[in-house]
A and B are shown apart, each in its own frame.
Chain A
Amino acid sequence: MDLEFTEEQQMIKDMARSILDEHSSVDAVRELEDDPRGFSDALWKQLGESGLLGLTLPAEYGGGGQSLLEAALVYEEMGRTLASVPHFVSAVIGGGILAEAGSDAQKAEWLPKIASGESIFTIAWLEPERGYGPVGVQLEARSDGDAFVLSGTKQHVYFGGAADQLLVLARTDAGVDVFLVDAKADGVSMRQILSQAGDAQYRVTFESVKVGAGDRVGAAGTGWDSLSKVMHDGIVLLASQAIGGAQQALDITGEYMKVRTQFDKPLAAFQSLAHYMADASTNIEGGRMIVLEAAWTRAQGRSIERLAPMAKLFCCDTYTEVTRTCEQLWGGVGFTLEYDVQLYFRRAKQLELSWWDTPYLEELVAADVLD
């Protein structure tokens, strides 16, 4: 047992930190809130050039070939800096599904572009009034000779306005399939929906959108399995992102508590307040450990069927709980837009509700344990 990073891992973490510190300052994050595009080209370019964008994609397709552990270190930094960037939807989910299930031709065409940042992918998954499971995928993909015709509505399509390619989850006779759809294709329309976190998410409507049989990713009826597999990796990264955000919220709150005085002493000297922070720090450290264990376990080629949902469940819970506590500790100023703690508070809840929410994750764990 040891928890030391290799020199290379430390280098990757440091590189992510310095790029994000430069391009994702709190001012930059505020600037991007509600922006239709939702990210800055400068940061996107840096992520592509540094290799952080394609970090976990296969080396033969221009990726870095690194494991989930290296990626988790990068995601903790993204969480710390509240980085607004389509890394997750494009490289982790989009690139992940292509690498997992795509044909050689699809991989050769798209993965190098995803890794460099030239192409931006996103996923059109959730539907209005439907849930996170496979049954929630009801957008129709009607078979029409060699082609498919897609009709229906998706929402929570992150960075939809900037994406070139959409991976659309749709229902076919075979079950759930994933289709590759050009974002500019005839019949695709979208509009931005504002969210609690001020990110760039879209409601996308498909009106008889025609796609070829060659645009299906993977064999017929395997779409859900591909997504589920990639999601198990992805949620470990989001758990790491949550820990990064929670740690930063804790750190800025701790510093504030040392200088803010009431009744002639700093808030940090009030035991009741200090104990909230001690609990928060303990949960953050525990969350970081389960992230590292999940990422390391995956890097060893072992199953993270149970560890991955546990990691996102615990870490997102911690992020929301810690930021609620921090709001309380900042007092009135924390309620204003001017102070930064609210940025973490809003994103924490959004992250918890996104990409498999608490009840869904609990059921994944329960099913693995009880059934």
Chain B
Amino acid sequence: MDFDFSPEEQAFADEVEQWLVDNHDPVVMDPTRENFTQLADTPERRAFMKKLAAQGWLGMSWPKEYGGQEIEGVYEYILNEALAKHAAPQIGKGVGIIGKTLIRHGSDYLKKEFLPKILNADIEFAVGYSEPQAGSDAANMQLKAEKKGDGWVLNGQKIWTTSAHFADWYWVGARTDPDAPKHSGISLFLVPMNDPGLEIVSLPTIGKDTTNQVFFNDVYVPDTQMVGEQGKGFQYISEALDLERFTMFTLSPSTERARVLIEWAKEAKRDGKPIKDDPNVRRLIARIVTDQAVAKGLSVRFVCAARKGGKPPTIESSQYKLFATQLSQRVCQDALDIQGAAGQIREGQDEGPIRGRFEGAYRATVVETIGGGSSEVQKNIIARRYLGFPKNF
């Protein structure tokens, strides 16, 4: 048993930490974006991603023949947690699901075209799985792909494509065989985001970022831009989630938020008395740090399970995600309760405690228990795989 990183891993963690301190950029590393700085559509963020690439930190776990270092996935976990802790953009879907899926299933053409650009941070992706009728029921996607000559014509709609308004390429699932069972009629495509048939409609959210609906109007995609085999799209999508064992939902942002709350509570006063002497505040803070320690334990558990290889750590990651995202929201909720009336002051104004940090975070964290597999989906997974219960929906 060992709860510490190995000396090599610790050295890497220290190196990343120091690098992030040395390269601190307040525009890119904005903690008030609450774990979503990778969604900032700014030249500064693009420049920062190029710097990460120059460090050799993109695609570390990729095979050497594709420009990776074949390094253990735990290093990407360390890197992403450090990035998230500093509110820097995380390494994301390019080197993750897209790169890894192309390496396993992509044609030589797609590999040559995309992999080097991913490693150099020359390219930004948007991922299009969700649709109005395919949320938690992801395999229910209806975006229609009809065969035409040496390609496909796509018609329909995607939703919740957060990066659509600035990405270069769209990684998108579409139904190529309407008569096949729902999981096996789907194929994956790469579509240039500037295709004139794509219409992007912004959906402002209660969080910091806008998301998008994307409408497909006769978007023609050549066969060469289909990923892998026809009809295997959903299989690839599921497999990619298993390949992304180390870079799921990061814990550092909520740990940092708890730290910020505690620092504030140590100094703040109400009616002339220190807030930290209020028994109710002490109780809430004790609970928050305890639950943070438990969440950390659950993350160690999934990382250790992932390192063992073999079976994907599905149960471990579901239990971690369920616990950590609920906790992340509770920290914000407790923070506002502790701050009382002033907690409502909209973020960004000096009159609010911590400039309204938790007013904003309370809104921004709502999506955490929804995206990336909702809490209810995680519970269904745990019920079936951990408890051995029958399918219940």
Give the B-binding residues of A (Cβ under 8 A). Answer: 1-6, 9, 69, 254, 257-258, 266, 268-271, 274-275, 277-279, 281-283, 285-290, 292-293, 296-297, 306-307, 310, 313-314, 359, 361-363, 365-367, 369-371
Q: Among the listed A1, A3, A268, A297, which residue makes an inter-chain contact with B390, where contact means beta carbons less than 8 Å apart? A: A268
B269-299 vs A, Cβ < 8 Å mask (1 yes, 0 no): 0000000100000110111011101110110
Question: Which chain B residue has the least Cβ–Cβ distance from A295?
Answer: B1
**Known interface pairs A1-B5, A290-B297, A369-B289. Does A269 touch B392 (Cβ–Cβ under 8 Å)?**
yes
Question: Which chain A residue has the least Cβ–Cβ distance from B291?
Answer: A314
B319 sits at the interface (CB 8 A):
yes
Q: Classify the interface of chain A: helix, strand, loop or mixed.
A: helix
Residue of B5, B300, B392 with highest tally of chain A CB at under 10 A: B392
Residue of A266, A269, A281, A369 with highest tally of chain B CB at under 10 A: A369
Residues of A within 8 A of B323 (CB): 282-283, 286
Q: Among the listed B262, B307, B379, which residue makes an inter-chain contact with A370, where contact means beta carbons less than 8 Å apart? A: B262
Are B387 and A307 in touch, CB under 8 angstroms?
no
Residues of B within 8 A of A278 (CB): 322, 378-380, 382-383, 386-387
Residue of B283, B376, B383, B390 with highest tally of chain A CB at under 10 A: B383
CA distance A286 to B319 in the complex (A): 8
Are A286 and B297 in touch, CB under 8 angstroms?
yes
**Known interface pairs A313-B290, A370-B285. Does A5 touch B388 (Cβ–Cβ under 8 Å)?**
no
Are A1 and B2 in touch, CB under 8 angstroms?
yes
Are A286 and B295 in touch, CB under 8 angstroms?
yes
Size band of the B side of the interface?
Answer: 35 or more
Residues of B within 8 A of A293 (CB): 3, 293, 297, 300
Question: Which chain B residue has the least Cβ–Cβ distance from A275?
Answer: B379
Interface residues of B in 1-39 (CB under 8 A from A): 1-6, 9
Are B287 and A3 in touch, CB under 8 angstroms?
no
Task: For residue A5, give the distance in angstroms from its CB to the closest CB of chain B.
Answer: 7
CA distance A313 to B297 in the complex (A): 15
Task: For residue A71, give the distance in angstroms from its CB to the closest CB of chain B.
Answer: 14
Residues of A within 8 A of B5 (CB): 1
**Known interface pairs A286-B319, A363-B282. Does A5 touch B1 (Cβ–Cβ under 8 Å)?**
yes
Are B290 and A292 in touch, CB under 8 angstroms?
no
**Known interface pairs A275-B376, A289-B297. Does A269 touch B289 (Cβ–Cβ under 8 Å)?**
no
Are A287 and B294 in touch, CB under 8 angstroms?
yes
CA distance A5 to B388 in the complex (A): 25
CA distance A371 to B266 in the complex (A): 8
Are B389 and A274 in touch, CB under 8 angstroms?
yes
Are A274 and B1 in touch, CB under 8 angstroms?
no
Task: For residue B46, give the distance in angstroms from its CB to the closest CB of chain A.
Answer: 33
Q: Among the listed B300, B303, B319, B390, which residue makes an inter-chain contact with A282, where contact means beta carbons less than 8 Å apart? A: B319
Task: For residue A249, give the distance in angstroms from its CB to the closest CB of chain B.
Answer: 13
Are A289 and B298 in touch, CB under 8 angstroms?
yes
Are B300 and A3 in touch, CB under 8 angstroms?
yes
Are B383 and A277 in touch, CB under 8 angstroms?
yes
Are B289 and A310 in touch, CB under 8 angstroms?
yes
Residues of B within 8 A of A277 (CB): 383, 387, 389
Residues of A within 8 A of B9 (CB): 1
Residues of B within 8 A of A275 (CB): 376, 379-380, 383
Residues of B within 8 A of A269 (CB): 389-392
B95 sits at the interface (CB 8 A):
no
Residues of B within 8 A of A268 (CB): 383, 387, 389-390, 392
Residues of B within 8 A of A258 (CB): 388-389
**Known interface pairs A3-B304, A282-B323, A287-B294. Does A69 touch B379 (Cβ–Cβ under 8 Å)?**
no
Closest 5 pairs between A and B when the two form their complex, measured CB to CB: A289-B297, A366-B282, A274-B383, A278-B379, A365-B286
Task: For residue B89, give the distance in angstroms from its CB to the closest CB of chain A.
Answer: 25
CA distance A90 to B97 in the complex (A): 56
Residues of A within 8 A of B303 (CB): 1
19 A-B pairs whose Cβ atoms sit less than 8 Å apart in the complex: A3-B301, A268-B389, A269-B391, A274-B383, A275-B379, A275-B380, A281-B387, A285-B301, A286-B294, A286-B295, A286-B297, A292-B3, A293-B3, A296-B1, A296-B2, A365-B285, A369-B286, A370-B282, A370-B285
Task: For residue B12, give the distance in angstroms from its CB to the closest CB of chain A.
Answer: 13
Q: Besides A269-B390, A271-B383, A289-B298, 9 other CB < 8 A contacts?
A: A1-B303, A257-B389, A274-B383, A281-B387, A285-B298, A293-B293, A365-B289, A366-B282, A369-B289
CA distance A310 to B297 in the complex (A): 12
CA distance A279 to B297 in the complex (A): 16
Are B300 and A285 in touch, CB under 8 angstroms?
no
**Known interface pairs A268-B387, A289-B297, A293-B297. Does A362 touch B319 (Cβ–Cβ under 8 Å)?**
no
Residue of B262, B282, B376, B387 with highest tally of chain A CB at under 10 A: B387
Are A313 and B2 in touch, CB under 8 angstroms?
no
Residue of A6, A287, A289, A314 with highest tally of chain B CB at under 10 A: A289
B393 sits at the interface (CB 8 A):
yes
Residues of B within 8 A of A1 (CB): 2-6, 9, 74, 300, 303-304, 307
Are B290 and A370 in touch, CB under 8 angstroms?
no
B265 sits at the interface (CB 8 A):
yes
CA distance A366 to B280 in the complex (A): 11
Residues of A within 8 A of B74 (CB): 1
CA distance A104 to B380 in the complex (A): 58
CA distance A314 to B294 in the complex (A): 8
**Known interface pairs A274-B387, A314-B291, A369-B289. Does A362 touch B382 (Cβ–Cβ under 8 Å)?**
no
CA distance A209 to B122 in the complex (A): 83
Residues of A within 8 A of B294 (CB): 286-287, 289-290, 310, 314
CA distance A278 to B276 in the complex (A): 35
Residues of A within 8 A of B291 (CB): 314
**Known interface pairs A274-B387, A274-B392, A314-B291. Does A282 touch B382 (Cβ–Cβ under 8 Å)?**
yes
Are B1 and A69 in touch, CB under 8 angstroms?
yes
Are B283 and A362 in touch, CB under 8 angstroms?
yes
Task: For residue A331, give the distance in angstroms from its CB to the closest CB of chain B.
Answer: 17
Residues of A within 8 A of B283 (CB): 359, 362, 366
Residue of B286, B307, B391 with highest tally of chain A CB at under 10 A: B286
Residues of B within 8 A of A369 (CB): 262, 285-286, 289
Are A281 and B319 in touch, CB under 8 angstroms?
yes
Task: For residue B92, give the distance in angstroms from its CB to the closest CB of chain A.
Answer: 24
CA distance A9 to B2 in the complex (A): 14
Residues of A within 8 A of B295 (CB): 286
Q: Among the listed B285, B298, B307, which residue makes an inter-chain contact with A366, where contact means beta carbons less than 8 Å apart? A: B285
